Chain A
């Protein structure tokens, strides 16, 4: 086992351990913090694969944004200090079954699949290349999805404002 494989297994242990602790934690706030570890582990996996840009996005969006949002909403809505209800024996049992089944299924899929696909086009995944491609209108440019996403964000903002805004009652 060389160093690279070791790093991979350590990262996997962090991801899976974080995920397992997150679902078994008694306090919901702790569950959110364990989720954080799992997500950082995934970012590490991207670094390991030399996808620096995606790793950075993973940290900024998931670790920095979404987990913070989850923690905020836990503080706003839930009594974060209190222990959660103990799940029943039956649901524990089925959870274990589901996990074993999923693991077996995943193993079978990976065993059967050869994964000889090469991404088309093969490009250096640097931030500069990604940025250029995103606004490129020539071959393999992604300007259309980029614009569609902007409309989606505009619509989402309008929707949020309409729902959240409180109009002053007219006299």
Chain B
């Protein structure tokens, strides 16, 4: 304990510290200028991100309630980077917002929850982490105070996440009842596949599927994404999803390793439904936030495909894909945030002729969509390729064929947006948008990420080294 405790929990400590600094700034009320506050917050978030690169150490605390290793530290750094990019992108939106500090307090508490969840080695901490990362998010979905749709999004989010938590808690209680322990390491050997434990797996998996918005638990996603402010939508679709996938990889899949037959069948059905239905609904959308919501559902299907292989390569490809997905999705959301905050338009039909007036932004959006669709040479191509290759290792070609067919369908709707940007004629295209410096910086980071991650060959190897340990 003592100093070891500070080092092992450094990222959690960092987030909590920033949380309290913001709380005191709110009470002090000394800085009236939102712009200065935002820059200050971004610097703090940057420092917190950098914290992931120093003093890395493996270990356990609180009798195994909290465990950390280099892979978990890296996962947390990825989430930190994503949060920083979102914060940079939200500059224009938050500059005039009355509750700027509260926005970040809630954001950071959800981030803390995700960190606890990733580091949890115990069902109790894991459950608390999930709650901490979803309840404040519902309040954040309501941050467009004067829009009724935003409130609707918040209500739908809180109800669906309460339902998911209830399912998961029911499953956890069965696990505890049959094994008498909450500790993951002790549980693994005690989960032998009695009917009650299989039922528990089903319940816990359903809770996860809710949070991941995998079909058939996806119904809340589109409404919440559409109603929430763009900054919150991007946070929901990228950061909270990534955190859940990380936990699935590091805790859930190993926990039920004795039931891997069941686990694979569950994933098999979920993957097919998720990829196919996500795609079919994405084709029909005109609102770009709804469009990205359904496209993200289908992306989750691909991530699950990588997870289903159950190997270190599968885990690595899922993590790699998530990093790429963070960059590409945030690139798209950054442009949408700018469009929405300056013109209030959020439809694909408004993007017609976008290239004539905003060539640079048009390219950024197009490259992001290319990466989401998996077109080379963007990193999205490599991400999808690794995922499908890892999924194919099981030799289930039905699954792979369906996934591959769906990749073709997804190209159609991503390219439909690109066509609207570059080729469609429009008499009254969107006027030239002027993004703030921090937004442009965020988009630059995203573009470097989208192109660079694909070519930095050592990155995949690096994750593999960490995951294989």
Binding site for B on A (CB under 8 A): 105, 108-109, 112-115, 117-120, 137, 139-145, 148-149, 151-152, 154-156, 158-163, 167
Contact = CB atoms under 8 A, between A and B. Distances in A.
By secondary structure, the A interface counts as helix
30 contacts: A113-B178, A115-B177, A117-B177, A120-B180, A120-B186, A137-B1, A140-B63, A141-B63, A142-B124, A144-B65, A144-B66, A145-B65, A145-B125, A148-B113, A148-B125, A151-B16, A151-B19, A152-B132, A155-B105, A155-B106, A155-B109, A155-B139, A158-B139, A159-B102, A159-B135, A159-B139, A161-B102, A162-B102, A162-B106, A162-B143
A145 B106 contact: no
Contact of A163 (B139, B177, B179, B199): B139
Contacts, number: 99
A23 B420 CA distance: 53
Contact of A148 (B129, B142, B154): B129
Contacts of A148: 113, 116, 125, 128-129, 132
B196 A163 contact: no
Contact of A156 (B63, B136, B181, B186): B136
Interface of B: 1, 16, 19, 61-63, 65-66, 98-99, 102, 105-106, 109-110, 112-113, 116, 124-125, 128-129, 131-132, 135-136, 138-140, 142-143, 145, 154, 177-181, 186, 190, 194-196, 199
B132 A139 contact: no
By secondary structure, the B interface counts as helix
A145 B124 contact: yes
Given A155-B132, A156-B136, A117 B62 contact: no
Nearest to A154: B109
Given A152-B135, A155-B135, A159-B106, A119 B195 contact: no
Contact of B179 (A117, A142, A160): A117
A109 B197 CA distance: 9
Contacts of B112: 151
Contacts of B128: 145, 148-149, 152
